Structure 1
Amino acid sequence: MVLSLPATKSLFPSPRWAERRRKLHLRGGAVRCGIAEASGQPAPMGQKTKYKDGLFERVFMSLFSRKMDKFGHGGKAGVEEKGLFDCDYESFVEVSRGVMEGRTRLQQQQVVREVLLSMLPPGAPAQFRKLFPPTRWAAEFNAALTVPFFHWLVGPSEVVEVEVNGVKQKSGVHIKKCRYLENSGCVGMCVNMCKIPTQDFFTNEFGLPLTMNPNFEDMSCEMIYGQVPPPFEDDPVSKQSCLPNFCSIANPNSSLCPKLKA
């Protein structure tokens, strides 16, 4: 994940380093997580996919859980007391769910923004803008990085060809069945804790436009680097209802997920 890369001479990875990381991921080394399903693919809709997380993923889950706890709960959830390898994905989702309580849509998104910024050293967004100006190459390179570095968060994905401003390019990422949406089952968490903050962070902080299009019918998602996201009011997700069969706090009588209201 480009937001949490190890510090080297440059904060962000060279293409050669990224390719080595991608190949290690594909070989199934200790740093990658894998689907524990017999088919090797995400479970069918209505069933939760089983994962086997490695140390690399556990560290990311712990780091993000601690940051969520700090900025969302003031450390009251006690995540900091756990070891670096003790947080699992369910714990990460529950800490995220707690951030929604008592907060508006915009306040939830602000917490995630603070978490993302806290994962970076000072000046990182400015350095990213220099290394990755909003070009086709930058969009395609970040799409390629997304597949291995977001695997722990969203599950398996692949780079796909998309059309941006009338030009076809391989800057799209198809997430087969989003792990975050699958485990939370919540439209509000998907939109307020992932989609909108991630779009805004890349577009406004990093200067590289990103649009995310979740599909609530099959829990897949499309990420399009290089495409400017629409205003929330014009985004189809702004009119999305709850998923009562998957969300424990869903309101089946409402045509709009309550967490999407301002």
Structure 2
Amino acid sequence: MVVLSFQAVQFMPPQHLPLHRPSTGNVMVIRCGIAEPSGEPAPLGQKTRYNDGFFDRAFMTLFARKMEKFAASAKAGTETKKKGWWNLDYESFVDVSKRVMQGRSRMQQQQVVREVLLSMLPPGAPAQFRKLFPPTKWAAEFNAALTVPFFDWLVGPSEVIEVEVNGVKQRSGVHIKKCRYLENSGCVGMCVNMCKIPTQDFFTNEFGLPLTMIPNFEDMSCDMVYGQVPPPFEEDPVSKQPCFSDICSMANPNSDVCHKLQA
């Protein structure tokens, strides 16, 4: 999702970013307020603990409030509305996302995200983005560098990696170690319809900068490749990805929410 978090970070221009994904050494990694003793995401099967700062919560709240008008009413009295403006947390944000999915097809879910993203931008922003960042190698690398600090509240720690786009090696990839959104939702449908597809579509069609997101459902990591045109949904492996039936709270035989990948 196209959201910025203005935490204090150590910024490195694209020419100084690592050429590959090393296992050790000096790598630009934003820890995103992780509360784990290791400073790294928790192992698969365990939920990572975070210490969210003021700006993290500000963006969680802003996004949740923007999405709230599209969400179905929460059970037992709309929990989100009971909380104060600055009291929303990541779980509240995920809960709103789940309620947005209810009663909507795959395409309708993606359209809601697009409308929310557009509502958070000033008028004419997509056109200005296209002027500032035409689909060049430099633009792809620059946006990859910005993604690491500015998406950390949403997806967790990430790092810039080297990728190959149209036969050219470039530093326009971002490796998300363990996606916070997927980890907290435990839902393939949410990952695909509320994050991957609408984010790809927004950058590719609204901003004019192709983006492909490649989630790994085995370890909940994800690679973002700026400059690479995403495949049609029918040819994307995620279209055949089964539900996390053991951990997804919405997974049941009668669900019209969890796995809206074919509708």
Per the TM superposition, whether the score is higher than 0.5 is yes
Amino acid at match of 2:43: P
The change in CA–CA distance for 1:253 and 1:236 in structure 2 (over 3 A counts) is farther
- 2:50 aligns to what? 51
Alignment of 1:196-207 (within 5 A): 196-207=197-208
- The Cα shift of 1:22 comes to 3.4
Amino acid at match of 1:109: Q
- 2:21 aligns to what? none
Q: Deviations over 1:85-117 (max 9, x none)?
A: 211000000000001100000000000000000
Q: Deviations over 1:170-216 (max 9, x none)?
A: 00000000000000000000000000000000000000000000000
Q: Deviations over 1:206-244 (max 9, x none)?
A: 000000000000000000000000000000000010112
- The Cα shift of 1:245 comes to 2.1
Distance in 2 (alpha carbons) for counterparts of 1:24 and 1:229: 28
Q: Deviations over 1:69-97 (max 9, x none)?
A: 02345999574664332110000000000
- The Cα shift of 1:250 comes to 1.9
- 1:22 aligns to what? 9
Question: Given that residues 5 and 152 in structure 2 are in contact (C-alpha distance below 8 angstroms), is that contact kept between their aligned partners in structure 1?
Answer: no
Aligned residue for 1:180, secondary structure, equals: helix
| Identical positions, percent | 75
Distance in 2 (alpha carbons) for counterparts of 1:4 and 1:152: 9
Higher RCO (Cα < 8 Å, 6 or more apart)? 2
Distance in 2 (alpha carbons) for counterparts of 1:150 and 1:236: 24
- 1:217 aligns to what? 218
Aligned residue for 1:83, secondary structure, equals: coil
- The Cα shift of 1:120 comes to 0.3
Distance in 2 (alpha carbons) for counterparts of 1:186 and 1:27: 26
Alignment of 1:138-149 (within 5 A): 138-149=139-150
Distance in 1 (alpha carbons) for counterparts of 2:73 and 2:205: 26
The change in CA–CA distance for 1:44 and 1:246 in structure 2 (over 3 A counts) is same
Counterpart check, 1:36 vs 2:35: yes
The change in CA–CA distance for 1:105 and 1:253 in structure 2 (over 3 A counts) is closer
Question: Given that residues 242 and 251 in structure 1 are in contact (C-alpha distance below 8 angstroms), is that contact kept between their aligned partners in structure 2?
Answer: no
- 1:114 aligns to what? 115
- 2:127 aligns to what? 126
The change in CA–CA distance for 1:80 and 1:137 in structure 2 (over 3 A counts) is farther
Amino acid at match of 2:202: F
Aligned residue for 2:10, secondary structure, equals: helix
Distance in 2 (alpha carbons) for counterparts of 1:38 and 1:248: 28
Let me know the Cα RMSD of the aligned residues: 2.7
Question: Given that residues 100 and 108 in structure 1 are in contact (C-alpha distance below 8 angstroms), is that contact kept between their aligned partners in structure 2?
Answer: yes
Give TM-score scaled by structure 1 length. 0.85
Distance in 1 (alpha carbons) for counterparts of 2:11 and 2:84: 26
- 1:11 aligns to what? none
- 1:261 aligns to what? 262
Gapped regions of structure 2 (runs ≥ 5): 13-27
Aligned residue for 2:135, secondary structure, equals: coil
The change in CA–CA distance for 1:131 and 1:175 in structure 2 (over 3 A counts) is same
Alignment of 1:174-213 (within 5 A): 174-213=175-214
- 2:22 aligns to what? none
- 1:104 aligns to what? 105
Distance in 2 (alpha carbons) for counterparts of 1:233 and 1:160: 27
Distance in 2 (alpha carbons) for counterparts of 1:259 and 1:168: 35
The change in CA–CA distance for 1:130 and 1:3 in structure 2 (over 3 A counts) is farther
Q: Which has the higher helix share?
A: 1
- 2:60 aligns to what? 61
The change in CA–CA distance for 1:215 and 1:252 in structure 2 (over 3 A counts) is farther
Give TM-score scaled by structure 2 length. 0.85
Amino acid at match of 1:122: P
Aligned residue for 1:107, secondary structure, equals: helix
Q: How many pairs align?
A: 244
